Amino acid sequence: MTDSLAQYGLGLSVLLFVLLATLEAMFPRKKRSMPRGKRWRTNIIIIIVDSLALRLMGPVAAISAAIFAEQNNFGLFNWITLPGWLEFMLALILLDLAIYAQHVISHKVPLLWALHKVHHADRDIDVTTAVRFHPLEIILSMLYKCAVVLLLGPSAVAVFVFALLLNLCAMFNHANLRLPESIDKILRLFVVTPDMHRVHHSTVREETDSNFGFSISLWDRLLGTYTAQPAAGHDDVVIGLDEYQSEHPAELWWSLVLPFHDGYRSKIGSGYNRNSS
């Protein structure tokens, strides 16, 4: 079951990746800072390394955790009785809230930020940035997801649908895609749009520490972390991190060793020391 679901999800993800990459080329939102070839090569290799790391954890770990919870009557939804449709919807909402919380924490805890900054160091934001995460962060993220799944006890189908939606939404909102302003305004009432998430990849600290949502845009509005637009505007906003405005973020080895280079020392207390490198 888990392998067939994984193959189905992979197929949909590849199709959306190709579609968004094509649309980015046709309707780009922002001019690139760096040549696409070198960035894409690095980001795609990181994706492959991440996939191998997850495979070492077992087939679709979060879905396996859901099956384990159901078989052992563990987790909130296995202790209460709800209509199937309501349990499914609540599972998707609570899992998304958990991912929002995880994202906020990854910006606040220095050790986690040391890993997460590999994602933010990318000097352009496009569909490949959506899955540019350090392998150690991917492993820790999956362990976190498994813990949340064990606590909630959602169905394996709900976990699969959520993971698929999360992946598809991440690719969409990282895309360098120009949407009509009227459509963006409507969509961001419900989901995170490319313009909304681009703010999160600004070098401006206050903007980086906002718009943490990946799928549902509601959490940022409710919890006070929403920023509508970058102060410099989308054409002039600088993407990445101030201390890494060079060619290095497009290099594979540099990206993989970044957390161990200056790591958590680049974040002091609750704020960033963006001028040290």
User: Does a structural domain hold residue 277?
Assistant: no
User: Does a structural domain hold residue 97?
Assistant: yes
Is the pLDDT higher at 273 or at 158?
158
Question: What is the band of 186 on the pLDDT scale with cuts at 50, 70, 90?
Answer: very high
Question: What is the band of 181 on the pLDDT scale with cuts at 50, 70, 90?
Answer: very high
In this structure, of 4-8, 61-65, 95-99, 178-182, the range with the lowest mean pLDDT score is 4-8
The DSSP code sequence of the chain is -HHHHHHHHHHHHHHHHHHHHHHHHHSBSS--SS-HHHHHHHHHHHHHHHHHHHHHT-TTHHHHHHHHHHHTT-SHHHHS---HHHHHHHHHHHHHHHHHHHHHHHHHSHHHHHHHHHHHT-SS-STTGGG---HHHHHHHHHHHHHHHHHH---HHHHHHHHHHHHHHHHHHHS-B---HHHHHHHTTTB--HHHHHHHTBSSHHHHTS---SSBSHHHHHTT----S-TT-TTTPPBS-GGG-SSGGG-HHHHHHHHHHTGGGGEETTEE-TT--
User: Does a structural domain hold residue 1?
Assistant: no
Instruction: Say yes or no to pLDDT of 251 above 60.
Output: yes
Q: What percent of the chain has pLDDT over 70?
A: 91
User: Does a structural domain hold residue 231?
Assistant: yes
What integer is the mean pLDDT of 228-235?
95
Question: What is the band of 248 on the pLDDT scale with cuts at 50, 70, 90?
Answer: very high
Give the structural domain span for 236.
Answer: 6-27+36-272
Structure confidence by residue, pLDDT tens digits, 257-266: 999 976 444 4
Instruction: Say yes or no to pLDDT of 76 above 80.
Output: yes
Instruction: Say yes or no to pLDDT of 268 above 60.
Output: no
Instruction: Say yes or no to pLDDT of 65 above 90.
Output: yes
Question: What is the band of 3 on the pLDDT scale with cuts at 50, 70, 90?
Answer: low
User: Does a structural domain hold residue 258?
Assistant: yes
Domain count, the chain: 1
Question: What is the band of 168 on the pLDDT scale with cuts at 50, 70, 90?
Answer: very high
Tell me, yes or no, if the pTM score tops 0.85.
yes
